[in-house]
Amino acid sequence: MKYLKFIFPIIALILLVGLIVATPRLILIKHISCQSQYGNCFDDLEEKLKKAEGKNLREAKKEIEDILKNDLSLSDYSTQFKIPDTLKISLLEDKPKFALKSLSKNVYGLVDKEGLVLKIEDNTTLPYVEIEDSFPNVGEKVSEKELFALKIISGVFSLYQIDKGKIQNESLLIELKNGIKVIFPLEGDKDVLLGALTVILNRLNEDAKELKINKVVYEIDLRFKNPVLR
Name the residue ranges covered by the structural domains of the chain: 25-93, 112-229
Per-residue confidence at 17, pLDDT binned at 50, 70, 90? very low
Mean pLDDT within 51-56: 90
Quick check: 90 and 102 in contact, CB under 8 A?
Answer: no
Per-residue confidence at 11, pLDDT binned at 50, 70, 90? low
Quick check: 185 and 223 in contact, CB under 8 A?
Answer: yes
Quick check: 67 and 49 in contact, CB under 8 A?
Answer: yes
Q: At a CB cut-off of 8 Å and minimum separation 6, what does 226 contact? A: none
Quick check: 138 and 120 in contact, CB under 8 A?
Answer: yes
Nearest to 202 by CA among 160, 153, 155: 160
pLDDT value of position 213: 47
For the cut 80, the answer to whether the pLDDT of residue 69 exceeds it is yes
pLDDT 10s digits, 179-211 = 899 999 999 999 999 999 999 999 888 765 554
Nearest to 115 by CA among 143, 149, 77: 143
Are the folds of 25-93 and 112-229 the same?
no
Mean pLDDT within 101-117: 93
Nearest to 96 by CA among 38, 9, 32, 31: 38
Mean pLDDT within 132-151: 92
Residue 113 is which amino acid?
K
Residue predicted with more confidence, 184 or 225: 184
pLDDT value of position 90: 92
C-alpha–C-alpha distance, residues 230 and 155, integer Å:
23
For the cut 90, the answer to whether the pLDDT of residue 170 exceeds it is yes
C-alpha–C-alpha distance, residues 172 and 197, integer Å:
14
**Between β-strands 219-221 and 181-184, what pairing exists: parallel, antiparallel or unpaired?**
parallel
Q: How far is CA 56 from CA 23, 62, 86, 214, in A?
A: 9, 10, 11, 77
Topology of domain 25-93, per CATH? Ubiquitin-like (UB roll) (3.10.20)
In percent, the amount of the chain with pLDDT more than 70 equals 84
Quick check: 164 and 130 in contact, CB under 8 A?
Answer: yes
Architecture of domain 112-229: 3-Layer(aba) Sandwich (3.40)
pLDDT value of position 207: 64
Mean pLDDT within 97-111: 94
Report the mean per-residue pLDDT for the chain: 85
C-alpha–C-alpha distance, residues 153 and 141, integer Å:
18
pLDDT value of position 36: 87
In percent, the amount of the chain with pLDDT more than 90 equals 48
Angle at 156 between CA 127 and CA 119, to 5 degrees: 20
Q: Which of 29-43, 124-138, 149-163 is predicted least confidently?
A: 29-43
Q: How far is CA 155 from the centre of its chain?
A: 17
